[in-house]
Chain A
Amino acid sequence: MKLLLTGLNHRTAPVEVRERLAFEEKALPEALDQLKRRPGLLEGMILSTCNRVEVAVTADEQADAGSAVEDFLAEARSVERGWVSPYLYRYDGSDAIRHVFRVASSLDSMIVGEPQILGQLKSAYALAKERGAISGFLDLLMTRAFNVAKRVRSETEIGESAVSVSYAAVELARDIFGSLQGTRVLVVGAGEMAESAARHLRRAGVAEILVTNRTRERAEALAAEVGGRVIDYEGFHATLPEVDILLASSGATEYIVTRDEMRTALGKRRNRPVFLIDIAVPRNIEPSVNELESVFLYDIDDLEKVVDTNLRGRVEVAHQAEEIIREEVDRMVLRMKTREVAPTIVNLQEQLDLWVKGEIERQRSKLGRLTPEQEEALEAIKRGIVNKIAHGPITELRRQAADPAGLHALSMIRKLFRLGGE
Chain B
Amino acid sequence: VIIASIFWLRVATCFYAVGLLHSMLALVWRRNSLYPLARATFRIGVILQGVAIIDLARATGRVPVDNPYQTLNLCAFLIAVAFLAVEWRYHFGSTAMPHFPLVFIMTLVAALERPVATWTDVRVRDTWLVVHIVFVLAGYAALLLTAVASIFYLIQERRLKSKKSRLLERLPPLATLDNVISTSMGLGFLLITLGVVFGVTWAFIESGTRWIGDATVTISLFTWALFLAMIYLRASAGWRGRKAAVMALVVLGCSALTWVAHVGLRPTLLR
| A interface residues with partner B (beta carbon < 8 Å) | 172, 174-179, 269-273, 290, 293-294, 296, 298, 302, 305-306, 308-309
Q: Which residues of chain B have C-beta atoms less than 8 A from A270's C-beta? A: 236-238
- The answer, among A178, A271, A305, for a CB contact under 8 Å with B176, is A178
Partner-contacting stretch, out of B32-40, B115-123, B165-173: B165-173
Q: Which residues of chain A have C-beta atoms less than 8 A from B240's C-beta? A: 271, 273, 293-294
Chain A's nearest CB lies how many Å from the CB of B176? 5
Which chain B residue has the least Cβ–Cβ distance from A182?
A: B175
Q: Which residues of chain B have C-beta atoms less than 8 A from A179's C-beta? A: 175
Q: Which residues of chain B have C-beta atoms less than 8 A from A302's C-beta? A: 163
A-facing residues in B231-271 (Cβ within 8 Å): 236-242
Known: A172-B160, A305-B165, A309-B166. A177 touches B237 (CB 8 A): no
Q: Which residues of chain B have C-beta atoms less than 8 A from A178's C-beta? A: 172-176
Chain A's nearest CB lies how many Å from the CB of B180? 11
Chain B's nearest CB lies how many Å from the CB of A283? 15
B156 within 8 A of A: yes
Sampled A-B contacts (7; CB under 8 Å): A178-B174, A271-B239, A290-B161, A294-B240, A296-B160, A296-B161, A305-B164
Which chain B residue has the least Cβ–Cβ distance from A271?
A: B238
- The answer, among B156, B236, B237, B239, for a CB contact under 8 Å with A175, is B156
Q: Is the CB of B165 within 8 A of A176?
A: no
Q: Which residues of chain A have C-beta atoms less than 8 A from B156's C-beta? A: 175
Chain B's nearest CB lies how many Å from the CB of A264? 14
Q: Kindly name the residue among B166, B172, B174, B240 whose own CB sees the greatest number of chain A CB atoms within 10 A.
A: B174
CA distance A290 to B239 in the complex (A): 17
Q: Is the CB of B174 within 8 A of A176?
A: yes
Chain A's nearest CB lies how many Å from the CB of B237? 7
- The answer, among B163, B172, B241, for a CB contact under 8 Å with A305, is B163
Q: Is the CB of A176 within 8 A of B238?
A: no
Q: Which residues of chain A have C-beta atoms less than 8 A from B161's C-beta? A: 290, 296
Q: Is the CB of A309 within 8 A of B165?
A: yes
- The answer, among B165, B173, B176, B236, for a CB contact under 8 Å with A308, is B165
CA distance A177 to B179 in the complex (A): 11
Known: A296-B160, A305-B163. A175 touches B238 (CB 8 A): no
Q: Which residues of chain B have C-beta atoms less than 8 A from A294's C-beta? A: 157, 238, 240-241
Query: What 1/0 flags go to B206-244 for Cβ under 8 Å of A?
Result: 000000000000000000000000000000111111100
Q: Is the CB of B241 within 8 A of A293?
A: yes
- The answer, among B165, B174, B236, B241, for a CB contact under 8 Å with A306, is B165
Chain A's nearest CB lies how many Å from the CB of B166? 7
CA distance A79 to B175 in the complex (A): 45
Q: Is the CB of B173 within 8 A of A306?
A: no
Chain A's nearest CB lies how many Å from the CB of B167? 9
CA distance A269 to B175 in the complex (A): 15
CA distance A370 to B52 in the complex (A): 148
Q: Is the CB of A175 within 8 A of B174?
A: yes
Chain B's nearest CB lies how many Å from the CB of A285? 14
Q: Which residues of chain A have C-beta atoms less than 8 A from B176's C-beta? A: 178
CA distance A177 to B173 in the complex (A): 6
CA distance A315 to B4 in the complex (A): 84
CA distance A261 to B194 in the complex (A): 43
Which chain B residue has the least Cβ–Cβ distance from A302?
A: B163
**18 further contact pairs, Cβ within 8 A, besides A305-B163, A305-B164, A306-B165:** A175-B156, A175-B166, A175-B173, A177-B175, A178-B173, A178-B174, A178-B176, A179-B175, A270-B237, A270-B238, A271-B237, A273-B175, A293-B240, A294-B157, A294-B240, A305-B165, A306-B163, A308-B165
Chain A's nearest CB lies how many Å from the CB of B76? 29
Which chain A residue has the least Cβ–Cβ distance from B176?
A: A178
Q: Which residues of chain B have C-beta atoms less than 8 A from A176's C-beta? A: 160, 173-175
CA distance A248 to B172 in the complex (A): 26
CA distance A178 to B176 in the complex (A): 6
CA distance A298 to B164 in the complex (A): 11
Q: Is the CB of B239 within 8 A of A177?
A: no
A-facing residues in B130-177 (Cβ within 8 Å): 156-157, 160-161, 163-166, 172-176
Known: A270-B238, A293-B241. A298 touches B173 (CB 8 A): no
Which chain A residue has the least Cβ–Cβ distance from B236?
A: A270
Which chain A residue has the least Cβ–Cβ distance from B172?
A: A178
Q: Which residues of chain A have C-beta atoms less than 8 A from B236's C-beta? A: 270
CA distance A176 to B175 in the complex (A): 6
Chain A's nearest CB lies how many Å from the CB of B77? 31
Which chain A residue has the least Cβ–Cβ distance from B239?
A: A271
CA distance A172 to B165 in the complex (A): 10
Chain B's nearest CB lies how many Å from the CB of A246? 15
Closest 6 pairs between A and B when the two form their complex, measured CB to CB:
A270-B238, A271-B238, A178-B173, A309-B165, A178-B175, A302-B163
CA distance A4 to B237 in the complex (A): 60
Q: Is the CB of B239 within 8 A of A273?
A: no
Chain A's nearest CB lies how many Å from the CB of B233? 11
CA distance A305 to B236 in the complex (A): 36
CA distance A156 to B121 in the complex (A): 82
Q: Which residues of chain B have C-beta atoms less than 8 A from A177's C-beta? A: 173-175
CA distance A174 to B165 in the complex (A): 14
Q: Which residues of chain B have C-beta atoms less than 8 A from A272's C-beta? A: 238
CA distance A53 to B156 in the complex (A): 36
Q: Which residues of chain B have C-beta atoms less than 8 A from A305's C-beta? A: 163-165
CA distance A177 to B175 in the complex (A): 5
Q: Which residues of chain A have C-beta atoms less than 8 A from B172's C-beta? A: 178
Q: Which residues of chain B have C-beta atoms less than 8 A from A298's C-beta? A: 163
Which chain B residue has the least Cβ–Cβ distance from A291?
A: B161
Q: Which residues of chain A have C-beta atoms less than 8 A from B241's C-beta? A: 293-294
Q: Which residues of chain B have C-beta atoms less than 8 A from A273's C-beta? A: 174-175, 178, 240
Chain A's nearest CB lies how many Å from the CB of B112? 37
Chain A's nearest CB lies how many Å from the CB of B173? 4
Q: Which residues of chain A have C-beta atoms less than 8 A from B175's C-beta? A: 176-179, 273
